[in-house]
Amino acid sequence: KWALDHPKVKAIWCARGGYGTIRILDEVNFKGFKQHPKWVIGYSDVTALHARLQNLGWASLHGQMPLALGEKTQATAQTIEQALTCNIYSIEWPVVNSGCDGTLITRTGQVTAPVVGGNLSLIYSLLGSQDAIPTRGKILLIEDLDEYLYHIDRMIYALKRSGMLEGLAGLIVGGMTDMKDQEIPFGYDPYQIIWAAVAHEAYPVVFDAPIGHLADNRAIPLGLPCTLTISPDKAEIMVHGKAQ
């Protein structure tokens, strides 16, 4: 609360993720934050805090936390600096065009819209609460770590059935890292699971963005417009640069 309210604090950089943000979310008073807005930086479990800020109309920064920063790529730290100093920058990566069965899983296009979202498990856990993330007209970002494939399927279809995957401006899938299967295989990889839920939609969709539980975890502002461009061989997120 001290950091949220302090008029001279310009950013709050969460030290690590893990678990617990959702337990304290309703105890945090954001009245002082509204008077003195600042960047909140983090990802993974910090998605719950990002969601609250998105619902209050404030931007935040989905980015690497200090605990493991030394193990990440140079671009991981560089994009945090670029976002905080209001620079225009881009995130580029090669496109994955098909899942393991050869199914086309990329939908090309270009859109400019605010980016929202974060960790899929946290987005799922906020469904039905005041902090559920409004996604219509937005570019939705999802990523996750160490989940069973059937649980990814359950969460994605919960988002689909709740309407969160309808009317998106676009969908960015970051790292789906260290996914697990059971003794009897689920039969679908994360690409196929997610694509099946959005295949009938018309908005651009891209996988393997360097965002999430990855060695290369680029920072991206949430709640601010970015331009997503997807071509058959390359994807780019252009961050237009705007500070709190």
d(CA 106, CA 2): 44
Q: Look at residue 184 in the predicted model and tell me its pLDDT.
A: 93
Residues 134 and 116: beta-carbon distance below 8 Å: yes
Q: Is the pLDDT of residue 243 over 60?
A: no
Which of 197, 53, 21, 210 minimizes the C-alpha distance to 122? 21
Quick: pLDDT tens for 176-195.
999 999 999 999 999 999 99
pLDDT per position as a tens digit, 3-56 = 888 989 999 999 988 898 999 999 999 988 888 899 999 999 999 999 999 999
Rounded to 5 degrees, what are φ and ψ at 212?
125, -150
Residue with structure tokens 């039969």? 187
pLDDT (tens digit per residue) in 199-240: 999 999 999 999 999 999 999 999 999 999 999 999 999 998
Residue the block writes with tokens 């479990």: 45
Q: What percent of the chain has pLDDT over 90?
A: 81
Highest mean pLDDT among 20-34, 84-98, 165-179: 165-179
Nearby residues of 123 by Cβ (< 8 Å), 6 or more positions away: 47, 51, 117, 133, 142, 155, 159, 164
pTM, to two decimals: 0.94
C-beta of residue 221 within 8 angstroms of C-beta of residue 182? no
pLDDT higher than 80, residue 160: yes
> pLDDT tens for residues 51-81?
999 999 999 999 999 998 999 999 999 999 9
CB burial of 208-227 (b: ≥16 within 10 Å; e: otherwise) equals bbbbbbbebbbbbbbbbbbb
CATH number of this structure's domain 2-239: 3.50.30.60
In the chain, domain spans: 2-239
